[in-house]
Structure formats: structure tokens, C-alpha cells
Amino acid sequence: MPESKKGHGPFSRRIAVLISGRGSNLQSIIDAIRDGRLEATIAVVISNRADAVGLQRARDAGIEAVCLHPRDFGDRDAYDRAIVDLLRDRRVDLVCLAGFMRLVSAALLQAFPHGILNIHPSLLPAFPGLDAQRQALDHGVRVTGATVHLVTSELDNGPIILQAAVPVLDDDDVDTLSARILVEEHRIYPEAIRLVLDGGWSVDGRRVRRHTR
């Protein structure tokens, strides 16, 4: 369990966004920066897939976009070390996973202690892993949502920064529910990044505590 007594930040405002696909959360971060709701610079966007639509979104916004393909590296550690080298070179100190569909290894976690965020389409700890919206429908919950959390070595299990609840409607299918959750994802991810970058918080057990100033 991550533990911090002294508190964090403020961070430098250079962030990286790691993606695997569509990149709509990346777009919400780009838009929040452009609109002045989030003071940050996206130093680099990294994808593990060359066909990720999000790479083009980054280039359209004038952001460096890099594909690092896992098959070009020997194993997960070598892959994550290459990511760390790239992030250090670009002087990044907050890493935002946005639909990055890979487990991160110790190499990345140790390089960015309390410095990696993830967004997940459920109210964690419910429905971690793949197909969270399908899991929620199959379970029959009436409320699900979205969670932004610090990344630890356990899948979808780090201390929580922000959550938003979304009702499950009687006629929801995976597509309609996912679309409503996504609206909340796009709202809370830039807000969570802002909170983290502003500093003045610490991790106490599982809880992220904000200090009054």
C-alpha cells in the first residue's frame, strides 16, 4: 500500500497520456487545457497500438505522439523501461493512463511513485478489469460510474482521487450505459488531474487526503 506522510506537490505541470485506442479521454484533457480549465502541458502521448485513433487526436493538437509497440521489446519490463526513458527525456512527472489496456510493471511504478493516474468505467472497487460496463449490467446494479485513481501494482485498486455515479436505466445496453459513463469520465479526469497537479494531498492507507491551506 502506498504511504506518504509528507504530502505531495505541487507537481511540475508536464504530463503524459498513455492510450490504446479511441482517445476520447485524451481529447477531454486536451480540451480542458485549451479551455483554461486545466493548467498543464501534455509533453507526449504514447500508444501501444499504431492504429490508436488517439494518436491522431494528439497530432491534430500539435502534441508529440509516439507508438511503442510491445513486440519490439523483449518483455514487459523492457517495454516499461522504454516508456520510463521517454517520459524522463520529456521531463514528465505525472502519467495519465487513458484507456491504456496494459498492466504496468514495477519499472514504471517505481519511476513515478504516486505519479500515475488511471480512469476506470465503474465505481471501484466494483467491477475491476475488462468490460466494466458489461459487468455492471450483468450484476444488475442500479448505480455505476467512473473512478480516477492512483495506479498501484494491483489492477484497478489504487487510492481513489475522484468518482462520479451514473444510474443504470431499465433499457440500458452496454452502448447506452458506456456513453453515459463516458460523459462523466470526460468531466472528472481533467478535474482529478488538476487536483493532483495542485498538490497539497497525501496518501494515508487507502485514502487520499487533501490538506486545508
CA neighbor of 97 nearest in space, from 50, 150, 145, 136: 150
Shortest distance in whole angstroms from residue 156 CB to ligand GAR = 6
Q: Which of 55, 92, 98, 151 binds ligand GAR (CB under 6 A)?
A: 98
Q: Which is nearer to ligand GAR, 58 or 111 (CB)?
A: 58
Q: Which of residues 25-44 bind ligand GAR (CB under 6 A)?
A: 25
Q: Which of residues 122-181 bind ligand GAR (CB under 6 A)?
A: 132, 156
Q: Which of 99, 115, 145, 159 binds ligand GAR (CB under 6 A)?
A: 99
Distance CA 32, CA 1 (A): 31
CB 98 within 8 A of CB 190: no
SS3 state at 23: coil
Shortest distance in whole angstroms from residue 128 CB to ligand GAR = 7
Using the rule CB under 6 A, is 80 a contact of ligand GAR? no
CB 78 within 8 A of CB 108: no
Distance CA 51, CA 108 (A): 23
CA neighbor of 47 nearest in space, from 70, 25, 30, 15: 70
Using the rule CB under 6 A, is 185 a contact of ligand GAR? yes
Using the rule CB under 6 A, is 184 a contact of ligand GAR? no
Q: Which of 30, 95, 117, 121 binds ligand GAR (CB under 6 A)?
A: 121
- The reply to whether 120 belongs to the active site is yes
What is the greatest pairwise CA distance in the chain?
49
Residues that bind ligand GAR (CB under 6 A): 19, 21-25, 54, 98-99, 119-121, 132, 156, 182, 185
